[in-house]
Amino acid sequence: MKSRKSGVRQRDEAPIFLGSIGRVSPLIAAAALGALPVGCVTPLPEGPDFIPVAQRHSVRVPDELPVAEAAFRYMFNRNASGQQQMASVYCLSFTLMGGEAWVESDPPADFIRRFSDVPIPVKPASGCRTDARTITVDKDSGKDGLTFRIDYVSCSSQDDCVVGGGYQESGLSASGNVYTLKRQDGQWHVEHDVMEWIS
């Protein structure tokens, strides 16, 4: 795995979450109690380029879902995978805080339906698996696909958010990015994209 690129400063201010200031997400609590299906568990990364653990919150329902949708749509068209728009399926994952690890889980079904206009089928993370080649494939067809994930959403105002996430194509093709989004005229747009690591 290649080293992370610098350029993302540690955030010292407390995040402001849309409509849910200072509360722990029910989804995060459920993950911590083991009430959600676990896709995979990996240790939390450390270092000055990452937002502090205390500020790492998963996507909350429903206030931050428009932010997550905009971030995913951006990832579909701008990622470093080999397949790009030739993938047979896109699988989406929300990363929840489960103790000292990230726990990958499916987004809500209603959220997945927001992407019905995307030419490539969009499924929850459980719709994909990793085959013997360590490549992401569609569980139904067995064809190669891409998994996109959101690790956290941290908002400094009602119109400014930072999203951590990236794509997973195989054991040798994945990334971790930080996306800066802004809401203008009611729509969220990615203004900056910093790649922290790639493999």
Over the range 79-118, which residues count as b (16 or more CB within 10 Å of their CB) and which as e? bebebeeebbbbbbbbbbbbeebbbbbbbeeebbebbeee
Q: Would you list the domain boundaries of the chain?
A: 26-198
- Give mean pLDDT, residues 176-198: 92
pLDDT tens for residues 6-18? Answer: 333 333 333 323 3
pLDDT tens for residues 126-178? Answer: 999 887 677 889 999 999 999 999 988 888 888 999 999 999 888 788 888 99
pLDDT tens for residues 54-85? Answer: 444 556 545 789 999 999 999 999 998 888 88
The rounded Cα 82 to chain-centroid distance in angstroms is 19
Angle at 4 between CA 78 and CA 179, to 5 degrees: 40
pLDDT tens for residues 72-119? Answer: 999 999 998 888 888 999 999 998 755 556 677 899 999 999 999 999
Quick one: pLDDT at residue 140? 92
Quick one: pLDDT at residue 97? 57
Confidence of residue 198 (pLDDT cuts 50, 70, 90): confident
Q: How is the chain split among helix, strand and coil, in percent rounded to 5?
A: 15, 40, 45
